[in-house]
A and B are shown apart, each in its own frame.
Chain A
Amino acid sequence: MKTILAVDDSATMREMVTFVLESAGYRVIEAEDGAQGLDRATATNVDLVITDQNMPNMDGLTLVRSLRELRDYKSVPILLLTTESSDSMKSQGRAAGATGWLVKPFDPATLLEVVQKVLR
């Protein structure tokens, strides 16, 4: 079973992502900000990280950069799931090493399609 780390400061959003992923058979670990996400990712190797951008303590892009510096996370897919949709933010995400960018509110079926694709 693949393990996915879901990072978001909104408990509702984490719950939505977790439900959708668990209903499709994935195991989900949650974190409420980038700093906690980094802790969780270093404590348990996960197969995919899905993170929000705007969060207290550590934002999503900083989390992506921090994870990419770790040997275990050089090639693990990382998706940004955020309300930010500007091209400049997406470019920053790409430069930081993110695998993809999804704009909230997400469509569950689309999220599952993307997850399957990046985990392949």
Chain B
Amino acid sequence: MNQETTTESTNARDAEQAADLLVTVASTLNERLAVTADELARSQALLREASDELMTAFRGAADRIVAAQRGADAAAEGKSAEYGLVLDHLYRAVQHLQSHDLVNQLIDAQKLRVDKMREKLVQALSLAAPPVTHPDQAETWIERSRAMLDCIVAGIQQIDQDARAPLGDKHNAGSVDLF
């Protein structure tokens, strides 16, 4: 009888330690993800600032060239060639400005993924908060660990649900199919 009680008590202690370890892992992961979320937000802010500046400059140049093209002197041969040259430069900028936009969308999708995973980790950690009713029973701790793991696994499975990342297929970029 005594040996049974001792074994059960040892099992309960092991199960409690495993549950504690899971809490440590979940909270450490949550902290690391918080740092990642912050770095993503800072990267996006920097990129947005740079993109806004580039867009303002681009807009100014684009508006002027379109207005000049439509102007009365646009038909003059020399002017037309000059406009064409400026347009070529602006067209090249169009391709790169699109990449900025795609990177922004990618960061948005990554931020959403990180936020969703953090939500699930916080939810999993909340399952470990209330005191257990029978701390001397291994099953109590195992159930708690199982509930936490189920929550984390659900988070991993849902991670892509709302994140609409642009696919960024370099090989096919710019390709055209006419049906």
Q: Which residues of A contact B87 (CB under 8 A)?
A: 23
Task: Mark B31-65 against chain A: 1 for CB-CB distance below 8 A, else 0.
Answer: 00000000000000000000100010011001001
User: Once the chains bind, are B174 and A83 in contact (CB under 8 Å)?
Assistant: no
Confirm or deny: A69 has a beta carbon within 8 angstroms of a beta carbon on chain B.
Answer: no
Say how far A85's CB is from chain B's closest CB, in angstroms: 4
- In the complex, which residues 19-74 of chain A have their Cβ closer than 8 Å to any Cβ of chain B? 19-20, 22-23, 54
User: Once the chains bind, are A109 and B91 in contact (CB under 8 Å)?
Assistant: yes
Q: Which of A12, A13, A83, A114 contacts B176 (CB 8 A)?
A: A114
User: Once the chains bind, are A19 and B95 in contact (CB under 8 Å)?
Assistant: no
Instruction: Please judge, given known A-B contacts A12-B101, A99-B179, whether A19 and B66 are in contact too, CB under 8 Å.
Output: yes
User: Once the chains bind, are A83 and B169 in contact (CB under 8 Å)?
Assistant: yes
Q: Which residues of A contact B51 (CB under 8 A)?
A: 12
User: Once the chains bind, are A105 and B176 in contact (CB under 8 Å)?
Assistant: no
User: Once the chains bind, are B177 and A13 in contact (CB under 8 Å)?
Assistant: no
User: Once the chains bind, are A12 and B98 in contact (CB under 8 Å)?
Assistant: yes
User: Once the chains bind, are B59 and A84 in contact (CB under 8 Å)?
Assistant: no
- Interface centre among B51, B69, B166, B168, by most A CB within 10 Å? B166
How many A-B pairs have beta carbons closer than 8 Å: the answer is 91
- In the complex, which residues 144-179 of chain B have their Cβ closer than 8 Å to any Cβ of chain A? 164, 166-169, 172-179
Q: How far is the CA of A101 from the CA of B99 in the complex (A)?
A: 19
Task: Mark B87-116 against chain A: 1 for CB-CB distance below 8 A, else 0.
Answer: 100110011011111100100000000000
Q: How far is the CA of A23 from the CA of B94 in the complex (A)?
A: 12
Q: Which of B65, B100, B173, B176 contacts A23 (CB 8 A)?
A: B65
Say how far B98's CB is from chain A's closest CB, in angstroms: 4
- In the complex, which residues 92-143 of chain B have their Cβ closer than 8 Å to any Cβ of chain A? 94-95, 97-102, 105
Say how far B69's CB is from chain A's closest CB, in angstroms: 7
User: Once the chains bind, are A100 and B102 in contact (CB under 8 Å)?
Assistant: no
Q: Which residues of B contact A109 (CB under 8 A)?
A: 91
User: Once the chains bind, are B59 and A15 in contact (CB under 8 Å)?
Assistant: yes
Q: Which residues of A contact B66 (CB under 8 A)?
A: 19, 22-23
User: Once the chains bind, are B174 and A103 in contact (CB under 8 Å)?
Assistant: yes
Interface residues of A (CB under 8 A from B): 10, 12-13, 15-16, 19-20, 22-23, 54, 83-85, 90, 93-94, 98-110, 114, 117-118
Report 6 cross-chain contacts, Cβ distance below 8 Å, ordered by A residue. A19-B66, A22-B66, A93-B179, A100-B176, A100-B178, A101-B179
Interface residues of B (CB under 8 A from A): 51, 55, 58-59, 62, 65-66, 69, 87, 90-91, 94-95, 97-102, 105, 164, 166-169, 172-179
